[in-house]
Amino acid sequence: MTSSPGLRILMRGEHSVRDDAIHPNAWKVLRRLHGAGHTAYLVGGTVRDLFLGRQPKDFDVATTARPNDIKSLFRNAFMIGRRFRLAHVKFQENIIEVATFRRESDRFEEPEEEGGKGKVLRFYGTPEEDARRRDFTINGLFYDPFLGNVIDYVGGLGDMERRLVRTITPPRQSYEEDPVRMIRAVRAAARLGFAIEAETHESILALRQLIMRCPKARLLEELLILLKYSSAERSLRLLWQVGLMEHLLPIHHAYLVRRNHIPLESARPDVLFDLFSMLDLDPSGVDASVLFALLIFPLHLDQAGIQPALFWQGRMGGGTLTAIEALFNEFATSIDAPKRFRARALEILSVQPRLYLRQSHIRPEKFAHKPYFWDSFRFFQIATRASDLDVTQEIHTWEKFEPKPAPPPRPHGPPAAGGSHVSSPDQHRSRHGRNRRHRRHGPGRPGDPPQNARPETPTTPSSPPVS
C-alpha cells in the first residue's frame, strides 16, 4: 500500500469520520468480513459523506472476499448483477452492498464463477485498482474502520478541500467509457455544493451528446435521482450550464432558450427553477409522478401564456388536457417515463383546480379518497408556493386527510463495538436508494399500482442492468 506514489492516509484524529455515524448493520458486515481474515473498507459516496459529516444515503463495502466467500459468510446475502456479482446483505432496516475489489470499470467483461481463474483474476483487483476505476476523486476514498484510516489513492482529499468534482481518469476518457458520469458530475456537484473542475466541466460541454447512447431507462433513473434529495433546483441549473439539458430534457432546454436563458452560464430566475426550489424545501419526498407533473407544469404555463396563480383559478377543459398530454408525449421522446407515471402525472395536473376549494365545489371528504389525492395535494402544496396564490385555507383543509405514515421500522440495538448508530432519517429511504442505483441491482416493481399512501421516498421506476 505504501508503495503507491500518490497514496495519502489520514489517521483517526486527522479526519472527521465518526465511527458512530456508521450504521450498525454496516458494522456487522465489516466485522464479519474482517473476522474471516478479509480486508473490508467502506467506499465511495459513503466515505465522502461521512468525511463531510453528512448522513450517507447508503453504506457500501468493498472487500478482498470473493462473491462465494461473501455468500457463505452471510445467510442474508443476495447475489445480484449478472456481470458484477455484487452482494446485497439484507437487513430489516437497510441493505448493505458488498463488492469484491475490482480492477477496472470495463462494463462488458464478465467474471466467471470462482473456478474460471483466468478471467476472475483479470476482473478482480487491489484496493488501489478499485479506487482508480471509480468516477470522481471525491468518490474514490476508502475508510478502514478497524484502523480508523481514510485512504486516498486518487487525490480525493485534495479535491474535498478544494470542494471540486474531478474525474479520476482524464475526463474525456472517463465520459467515453461511461457517459452517465456526466450526469453524475452534476449530481455530486449539486448535492454537495461543490464546483465541477474546469476540464471535467468543459469536457461535458464537448461530449454531452454522448448521453444519447445511454439507455433511456438509465437516463430516467439518473434524472429522478437529480430531482430528489433536496438539490433539484441546483441540478437543473447545472444541467443547463454544462449543456446537458439540451439532450436530457430537450423540451426544457427549448423552453429556457425561448425565455432567453442564453448564454449557458446564466440560468436566471424562472418558474421552472422556482418550482424545484420549493420541492427542495420539502423534506418528505414525493412520488416520481409528482416530479413529472412539476417538470411539465412550467411548459404548460408557457404554452398557455398564463401566470401560475391563474392555473388553479381556471377551468380544466378538454383542450387543456390534450395540450398537457401532448407535452408529456414530447417529453417521452428523450425520457422514457413508464406509462403509469405519465398517467398519474396527467391526473395530478388535471385535478388541480378542484383543490382550490374557494372556487371548486367538490366535497373534500370524497375527493380525499381518490387514489390520486395525495400526490395531487403534494403537487398543490409545492407548486402553489411558487405562485402568489393564497391557499392557506385549502392547505389546512387538505392536510386533515393526510394518510397515516407507515409504522417505523423495529428499533435495533447498538453495535457490539464502534459506538451507537447516529439516527438516520434516511434509513428506510436507503433501501429505495439502492433500488434506484444498482438496477444495476434490480430496482422497484414496475407493476406496482400507485398508492394513495404517503410515500416514504420518491419512487424510482425500474430500469435494466447496465454495469
Task: Say whether residue 135 binds ligand ATP (CB under 6 A).
Answer: yes
| Catalytic residue flag (residue 302) | no
Q: In this complex, which beta carbon is closest to ligand ATP, that of residue 88 or of residue 184?
A: 184
User: 90 φ, ψ to 5°?
Assistant: -95, 130
Nearer CB in complex with ligand ATP: 371/442: 442
CA dist., res. 156 & res. 213, Å (int):
29
Task: Kindly determine how many residues on this chain lie close enough to bind Mg ion according to the rule CB under 5 A.
Answer: 3
57 binds ligand ATP (CB under 6 A): yes
**What whole-number distance in Å separates Cα of residue 168 and Cα of residue 94?**
30
Tell me, yes or no, if 60 is annotated catalytic.
yes
Helices assigned H by DSSP within 265-362? 271-280, 288-304, 308-313, 318-331, 339-350, 352-355
Stretch that binds ligand ATP, among 56-64, 86-94, 302-310, 329-337 (CB under 6 A): 56-64
Q: In what order do the strands lie in the sheet with 60-63?
A: 8-10, 149-152, 141-144, 40-43, 60-63, 95-100, 86-90, 77-80
* Beta carbon nearer to ligand ATP, 276 or 379: 276
Rg from Cα positions in the chain? 23
Q: What is the dihedral of CA 12, 44, 164, 252, to 10 degrees?
A: -150
User: Which lies closer to ligand ATP via its Cβ, residue 242 or residue 386?
Assistant: 242
Is 134 or 261 the residue whose CB approaches Mg ion more closely?
134
Q: Annotated catalytic residue: which of 58, 130, 280, 426?
A: 58
Residue 139 contact, options Mg ion, ligand ATP, none, Cβ 5-8 Å cut-off depending on partner type: ligand ATP
Using DSSP, state whether 341 is helix, strand or coil.
helix
Distance, in Å, from the CA atom of 347 to the CA atom of 218, rounded to the nearest integer, reads 25
**Interacting span for ligand ATP (CB under 6 A) from 22-30, 54-62, 255-263, 308-316:** 54-62
Cα(179)–Cα(214) distance, integer angstroms: 7
Answer yes or no whether residue 105 interacts with ligand ATP by CB under 6 A.
yes
Per DSSP, which regions of 210-308 are E strands?
none
Torsion angles phi and psi, residue 384, rounded to 5? -70, -25
* Site size for ligand ATP (CB under 6 A): 14
354 binds, among ligand ATP, Mg ion, none (CB under 5 to 8 A by kind): none
257-289 CB burial, b ≥16 within 10 A, e <16: eeeebeeeeebeebbbbbbbbbbbeeeebbbbb
CA distances from 337 to 219, 341, 342, 393 (A): 10, 7, 7, 34
> What mask of x and - would describe binding to ligand ATP in positions 172 to 211, judged by CB under 6 A?
------x-xx--x---------------------------
Q: Among 49, 130, 135, 144, which one carries the catalytic annotation?
A: 135
Q: Which of 49, 60, 69, 280 is catalytic?
A: 60
Q: Binders of Mg ion among 45-74, rule CB under 5 A?
A: 45, 57-58
| Cβ nearer to Mg ion, comparing 344 with 437 | 437
Site mask for ligand ATP (CB under 6 A), range 409-448, x = bound: ----------------------------x-----------
Of 11, 296, 354, 311, which Cα lies nearest the Cα of 150? 11
Which residue's CB comes closest to ligand ATP?
45
Cell of 442: 434490480
Interface with ligand ATP, residue 60, by CB under 6 A: yes
The yes or no reply on residue 44 touching ligand ATP (CB under 6 A) is: yes
Q: Does 139 bind ligand ATP (CB under 6 A)?
A: yes
All residues at 6 or more sequence positions from 279 whose CB lies less than 8 Å from its CB, including other chains: 227, 232, 233, 286, 291, 294, 382
Work out how close the CB of 285 gets to ligand ATP at its nearest, in angstroms, rounded to a whole number. Answer: 14
* Residue number, 93 or 135, with CB nearest to ligand ATP: 135
Min dist CB 463 to ligand ATP, Å, is: 13
Q: Which residues are catalytic?
A: 58, 60, 135
- What does the binding site for Mg ion look like in residue numbers (CB under 5 A)? 45, 57-58
- What does the binding site for ligand ATP look like in residue numbers (CB under 6 A)? 44-45, 57-58, 60, 105, 134-135, 139, 178, 180-181, 184, 437
